[in-house]
Amino acid sequence: MKLLRLGAKGAERPAILHSDGTYRDISSVVVDIAGDALGAAGLARIAAADIASLPVLPQTSRIGACVGKVGKFICIGLNYADHAAETGADLPKEPIIFMKATSAIIGPNDDVRIPRNSKKTDWEVELGVVIGKEASYVDEADAMDYVAGYCVVNDLSEREFQAERSGQWVKGKSADTFGPIGPYLVTRDEVEDPQNLPMWLEVDGHRYQDGSTKTMIFGVQHLVSYLSQFMSLQPGDIITTGTPPGVGMGQKPEPVYLKEGQTIHLGIEGLGEQSQKTIAWNA
């Protein structure tokens, strides 16, 4: 299933992409794409509904973040061997974990605001993993049972804030609008192999990233198990799993960073596409 949330920010309605290409309102089935709706029983309830009989929502509706009430936005750094190489970093021996503020979350096609005093706002197409049930000290062999599905994430970053201003990466990752997710939460049963998904990102029509999840150092199964050793994972938590090469700071001979008035277009095979305009902070 491809689940999404439609409507004005803060007033989104849960929906599903029907086989006829329409968006169907599933608010009579689940309250939101959040919490218990992401567990096995909630997803089974949606799957059993007579989707064809449900109201059609306008195709022109704003698409919101595909998951509501996200508790934790957990990020994995330097998790692609080819991306680590472009940054000159050694391959990590264990996953590098940092957090992104949930206030950064926006819809997949909402505007991205360049922060005040930003000089190095960058892009990162990433595979997002959405947790479906509480996970704590999970064995790797069982880890996929805790995954509700997957989504596209643009892990926007301000590199000066991240690397040159002291402290942890979180302050370079957490500006408002720095977390577009969606358009869809694609349920786990529809993704045959999360470690073989082509992914790409363009800025103003120029393709900078053209990679695949197959070059991830630590795969989805390992990450879910690993994280659960340090914190419980709750339904609706999102793990964004790292980016392939082609980020702005890795461009040669000089880095390339985002500025106002540009268009970012990105996608992952089978999970949909995003398109954002960059605007000034006060626009």
In the block, residue with structure tokens 């700071």: 249
Provide the b/e sequence for 11-49 (b: ≥16 CB within 10 Å): ebbbbbbeeeebbbbbeebbebbbbebbbeebbeebeeb
pLDDT above 90 covers a percentage of the chain that reads 90
H helix runs in the chain, sequence order = 40-48, 81-87, 159-163, 170-173, 220-227
Q: What mean pLDDT do residues 164-192 have?
A: 93
CA 100 to chain centre: 11
In this predicted structure, what is the pLDDT of residue 83? 75
In this predicted structure, what is the pLDDT of residue 279? 98
List of residues 6+ apart from 144 with CB closer than 8 A: 188, 220, 221, 224
Instruction: Measure the CA–CA gap between 56 and 33, rounded to whole angstroms.
Output: 17
Q: What mean pLDDT do residues 204-220 have?
A: 97
Nearest to 243 by CA among 208, 191, 204, 206: 208
What tens digit of pLDDT does each residue of 231-273 get?
999 999 999 999 999 999 999 999 999 999 999 999 999 999 9
CA 56 to chain centre: 26
Amino acid at 148: A
Q: What mean pLDDT do residues 188-202 have?
A: 98
130, 135, 136, 140: CA torsion to nearest 10: -80
Instruction: Report domain 73-280's class.
Output: alpha beta
Is the pLDDT at 81 greater than 90? The verdict is: no
Bridge partners of residue 26, in order along the sequence: none
Q: What mean pLDDT do residues 79-95 have?
A: 81
In this predicted structure, what is the pLDDT of residue 280? 95
Nearest to 109 by CA among 3, 242, 5, 241: 5
Bridge partners of residue 72, in order along the sequence: none
Instruction: Measure the CA–CA gap between 193 and 127, rounded to whole angstroms.
Output: 12
Bridge partners of residue 25, in order along the sequence: 15
Q: What is the residue-averaged pLDDT of the chain?
A: 95
The DSSP bridge pattern shows strands 147-154 and 185-187 to be antiparallel
Is the pLDDT at 85 greater than 80? The verdict is: no
Q: What mean pLDDT do residues 96-115 have?
A: 97
Contact 182, 17 (CB under 8 A): no
Contact 241, 194 (CB under 8 A): no
In this predicted structure, what is the pLDDT of residue 283? 66
Structure tokens at 20: 């006829």
pTM beyond 0.85? yes
What tens digit of pLDDT does each residue of 147-175 get?
999 999 999 999 998 877 877 788 999 99
Nearest to 80 by CA among 275, 250, 270: 250
What tens digit of pLDDT does each residue of 8-50 get?
999 999 999 999 999 999 999 999 999 999 999 999 999 999 9
**Domain ranges across the chain:** 2-57, 73-280
Three-state DSSP at 252 gives: coil
Q: What mean pLDDT do residues 197-223 have?
A: 97
